[in-house]
Structure formats: C-alpha cells, structure tokens
Amino acid sequence: MKDFTAYLNETEEIGFVEQVADAIIYVSGLPKVKPEELVVFETGEFGHVFSVNPDYIEVLVFFKKHIKPGTRVTRTNEILKVPVGYELLGRVINPLGNSIDTTKPLKTPPEKRGVNTHPAGIIKRRAITKQFETGVLIVDLAIPLGHGQRELIVGDRKTGKTSFLTKTILNQAKRGNICVYAAIGKRKLDVKKIEEFFAKNGVLDKMVIVASGSGDSIGVIYLTPYTAMTISEYFKDEGKDVLLVLDDLSSHAKFYREISLLGRRFPGRNSYPSDIFYTHAKLMERAGNFITDKGDASITCLTVAETSQGDLSGYIETNLMSMTDGHLYFDKNLFYLGRRPAINPFLSVTRVGRQTQTNLRRDVSREIMSFLNLYERMQSFVHFGAELNETIKATLATGENIIHFFNQTPGEVVPINLQIIAFTMLWANLWEIKDTTMIRKQLHQILEAYSSDKKIREKIDKLAETESFNKLIGVLKTEGPNIIKAVSQKYGN
C-alpha cells in the first residue's frame, strides 16, 4: 500500500481526528468518504470506516497505538482486503493476513479479497446431498451433518467443544479437504496447542489458522471470522470442499457489542446493538453448498456458541440457532458423567443432515435414537432399586456397551462405514464383549486393520452398502465373526 502523502495527493481530501474512544476514532472533514473504505493516518496506520454520519465518520482501527486528536487523515479509495491463496496453507495468520507463527516468512499470496462481501444468491447454490463425516461416532451415526451445512456447536465452558472440532478437522483434512480454523480472541497458548495438535497429526498443510488473541485490538478480533470466511470462499471457488470453524461467535458478539457501545450505538437487548442478528446472519449465509466454475464446492460452517449454566435460551445462542441448520448440544452433566464427547443427542438438531443419508444409515440412526431413548428410561428403573428382569438387564448391558462405544479419545476418528458395521455388531450382540474396556481396544484394532489391510477395508465398505439394517444384521451373523477373527489374528489376541 502507498503512504499518507501519496493518498493525499490522489484523493485531495483531508480530515482530522476529533476524538479517540479505544478502537473507534471519530474523524471529521472527509466529505466523499464511503462506508467500509480504508483511511490512512499521517502516522502511517490504516483504519476501516465503520459508519458515516453527516458531521463525522467512525473509524475502526486495528492497532493499539495511541492516536492524538488533531492527527491528519486521508482517504484511500480502497476497501479492506486480505490476501487469499494456497500460500496460506499450513500457516497461522492474524486477521490482517500477516503470519504470526514462527516457522518461516510468509510468502504473501498475490490475490486479495474484500472481507465483507455479500452472500451468493440462490442460483449459485445447490441442495445439500453429501454426508459430512466428522469421524465422531455419535454425530455421524445419530445426528448426521451434510457438506455445506451450518451447524452450531453449543455448550457450557470446558465441555469438549474445541476437542470435538479438532477431531472433525483432523478427519476432514485426512480426507483431503481444506479446513480453516478461526480462533476469535483466544489465549495464545490455546492457539499454539491447536497448531501443535495438527502439526503432530501431519495435517497442518491442509489448513489455515486465523487467530486473534485476547490481548489484540478489538478491531482485529472483530475481523477474525470475516477473514476466515473470505479465505474459505477462495478455496470454495477453487472447487474444494471447505470446513470452516468459528470458535466462538458468542465472544465475537461481545466484542462487537463493545465496538458498538464505543460508537455510541443505542444498546438493545442485553446491551447488544440492534444489528447483531444481521451481522452474524450475513456472515453465516456465506457458507453453503455452491456451484462454482470449477465444479460443486461447499463451505461447511461449524460455529461455536458458549452457554452459561446450560441455558440454551440465551439471546446470542437463540439468534445463532435460527441462522444455522441445527445444533449439537454439549451437555455439562454428561461431561461430568464421563461421556466424551458430551453431546446430548436428544437436545441436538440436524435440519438438513438426514437428507444426505442412505437407507441403511437412516435405519441405523433411527435405531440408535430409539434405543438410547429406551436405555434412558430403563436407567430410571435402576434408580428406583426395582428388581430387574432379564430383558431389562440385557438392554442395560447393551446400552452400557453402546455408551462406551461412543466415548472417543481426542485423536480417534472412525470412518463412517466402519462405524456402521461396528455399531450393528455391537447392537445385535455379534461382537463378543467381556468387559467394556475391551470395546475401545478392539475398535482401535479394527480401525488399524481397516486402514492398513485392503481386504478388510473392502469387505467392510461392501457390507456398508447393504440396503437395510435388518439385512445387514443377517449378513453380519456370518460375516461379523470372520472380521473379528481376522483382526484378532493380525493383532494376536
């Protein structure tokens, strides 16, 4: 970009700083300035026009340096743009597009795009038809998502939301899809941990981390999801399926509220500005399933919202729920009971995911939901201390196995075909389980065999194409024990 004098000569307009309110600076005297235009201060810093009033403009700045009233300002006739391109893969950048990791200097991509664009219209969109695999058993089997779906990840603090998201990114990146992770106002240490997790698992080169720290200027934090979305759109236009994670939009809303209050906007409900819904909805609308010049491509957007005391009816949470295609609820009580992930399937919703399922997958998810329902009710008998008959005991035992089956360790991702076969065997008591600790160990072995042994993989993939659940149970009665035997022989149990 050019310097102050060059822009001044070009635009021939000069303004002055009137008042400074943290990240919002009031400037007077730029008659032709447009909303969202970049302005430059004589000290060399840039700011973004946030609103235009008859007598003054509000400029949002992305630095913490103090600007004195009376400082000269000029227009640039340009809007805020961030670099987008393949060069960003494997890097941690700030929302302005500069690298903040310590590896090597970032080769800035040649293309730049405006951060606040309009969502694509209906002509460019397609229905969601392809299942999005998270690698997390309870989600893929019971609450399926689709490529291009926008799903809210909602729950209290420390209930494993980020852990679920990192697992999903890991699975998607392993499948060759591009992942963009936006860390909005997070601690530096948390961002570092996430970066290291992906580097350790060898998928960092498939993703971009856009991070702003809690110590950054609020302007920079506010920008984070927009930059991440713009980068995702670039890869979408390249014909790729992209996963975008926004972690999290409830703190983004808080920073936006701070900016609005500094800008003397009228406070609405909970002091949030009245355009908070519009701000987030316009962003979320940019995700979806699209037709591009390079074929079909999608941006699947997983957005995090934090609840307090498990209250799902908060203002920002309900706003976000109404602009997404469902939500996964991370239940604190289930987390305390040791469930990992602590997703409550009864309070979670998927609006478009089910339409992506095959008949068999739909059968399986229906079976799981009705079984879990039955299991919950049976458990209440146990609390009464009632004498249990054999059927109830058997249901409780199967239920316990299934709950253990759903408990995944942080790095464990399971391909969906394997999920279906393993679940069906467990459900139909074809997988001999002596004690529940065996489930994880054996599933891990089957998973290893699936990825290393082509014969086993082909067999499982073929079985997962069976038309219905009942038919699959029938086939597995003979085939299932063979798979377990083949795996046991391989690993010598």
Catalytic site residues? 351
The entry of Mg ion, ligand ATP, none that residue 279 binds, CB within 5 to 8 Å by partner kind = none
Question: Using CB atoms, what's the residue nearest to Mg ion?
Answer: 162
Measure the CA–CA gap between 328 and 349, rounded to whole angstroms.
6
Spatial CA neighbour of 212 closest among 92, 376, 130: 92
The per-residue DSSP string of 123-135 comes to GGB----SEEP-S
How many Cα atoms within 13 Å fall on the side-chain side of residue 432? 6
* Residue 62: closest CA among 49, 76, 71, 77: 49
134 binds, among Mg ion, ligand ATP, none (CB under 5 to 8 A by kind): none
CB closer to ligand ATP out of 332 and 354:
332
Q: Which of 122, 189 has the CB closer to ligand ATP?
A: 189
- As a whole number of angstroms, the distance between CA 269 and CA 10 comes to 44
CA distances from 427 to 34, 40, 301, 403, 486 (A): 62, 65, 32, 11, 20
- Residue 162 or 171: which CB sits closer to Mg ion? 162
Single-letter code of the amino acid located at 85:
G
410 binds ligand ATP (CB under 6 A): yes
The conformation of residue 183, written as its DSSP 8-state character, comes to E
Q: Which of residues 287-326 bind ligand ATP (CB under 6 A)?
A: 306
Q: Does 85 bind ligand ATP (CB under 6 A)?
A: no
**CB of 308 vs Mg ion, minimal distance in Å:** 14
95 contact choice in Mg ion, ligand ATP, none (CB below 5 to 8 Å, kind-dependent): none
Does 409 bind ligand ATP (CB under 6 A)? Our answer is yes
196 vs 458 by CB, closer to Mg ion: 196
Enumerate residues 6+ apart whose C-beta is below 8 A from 48: 36, 37, 38, 39, 59, 60, 61, 62, 80, 219
Q: Contact between 158 and ligand ATP (CB under 6 A)?
A: yes
Closest distance to ligand ATP from the beta carbon of 343 (Å)? 11
From the CB of residue 312, how many other CB atoms can be counted at a distance below 10 Å?
Answer: 14
- Using the minimum distance from each CB to Mg ion, give the nearer residue, 223 or 302: 302
The one of ligand ATP, Mg ion, none whose footprint includes residue 442, by CB under 5 to 8 A per kind, is none
Q: Hey, which bits of 42-144 come out as E strands?
A: 46-52, 57-61, 72-79, 81-84, 92-93, 111-114, 131-132
To ligand ATP, the closest distance from the beta carbon of 261 in angstroms equals 24
Please tell me whether residue 250 binds ligand ATP under the rule CB under 6 A. Answer: no
Q: Which does 471 bind (CB under 5 to 8 A by kind): ligand ATP, Mg ion, none?
A: none
Among the residue ranges 152-160, 275-283, 287-295, 384-392, the one whose residues contact ligand ATP (CB under 6 A): 152-160
Give yes or no for a contact between 57 and 95, defined as CB atoms under 8 angstroms apart: no
State the minimum distance, in angstroms, from the CB of residue 336 to Mg ion: 17
Partner from Mg ion, ligand ATP, none binding residue 159, C-beta < 5-8 Å depending on class: ligand ATP
User: Closer to ligand ATP at the Cβ: 303 or 408?
Assistant: 408
Q: Pattern 153-172, binding to Mg ion, x per CB under 5 A?
A: --------xx----------
Rounded-to-integer distance, Cα 145 and Cα 340, Å: 19
Cβ pair 243, 302 in contact under 8 A: yes
Minimum CB–partner distance for residue 163 and Mg ion (Å): 8
Q: In angstroms, what CA-CA distances link 244 with 210, 231, 307? A: 11, 9, 21
Considering CB under 5 A, how many residues would be counted as binding Mg ion?
A: 2
Tell whether residue 327 is a contact of ligand ATP (CB under 6 A). Answer: no
Least separation, in Å, of the C-beta of 407 and Mg ion? Answer: 19
**Cβ atoms of 185 and 222 closer than 8 Å:** no
158 versus 294: smaller Cβ distance to Mg ion: 158
In angstroms, give the least distance from the CB of 253 to Mg ion. Answer: 16
Radius of gyration of the chain (CA): 26
The interface partner of residue 232, options being ligand ATP, Mg ion, none and the CB cut-off 5 to 8 Å by kind, is none
- Rounded to 5 degrees, φ, ψ at 92 are -110, 120
Query: Residue 250 Cβ, how far from Mg ion at the closest point, in Å?
Result: 11
| Contact (CB, 8 A) for 323 and 120 | no
In the chain, DSSP finds a helix count (H) and a strand count (E) of 15, 19
Task: Output 38 or 402, the one with its CB closest to ligand ATP.
Answer: 402
Alpha helices in 217-358 (DSSP H): 218-237, 249-262, 276-284, 315-323, 332-336
Q: Nearest distance from residue 359's CB to ligand ATP, in Å?
A: 30
Residue 470 near ligand ATP by CB under 6 A: no
Handedness of CA 286, 291, 294, 297 (dihedral sign): positive
Which of Mg ion, ligand ATP, none binds 160 (CB below 5-8 Å, type-dependent)?
A: ligand ATP
Q: 157 contacts which partner out of Mg ion, ligand ATP, none, CB within 5 to 8 A by kind?
A: ligand ATP
Dihedral sign of CA atoms 214, 219, 222, 225 in order: negative
Residues 11-70 interacting with ligand ATP (rule: CB under 6 A): none
CB-nearer residue toward Mg ion: 245 or 414: 245
Contact residues for ligand ATP, defined by CB under 6 A: 157-163, 306, 340-341, 408-410
Contact residues for Mg ion, defined by CB under 5 A: 161-162
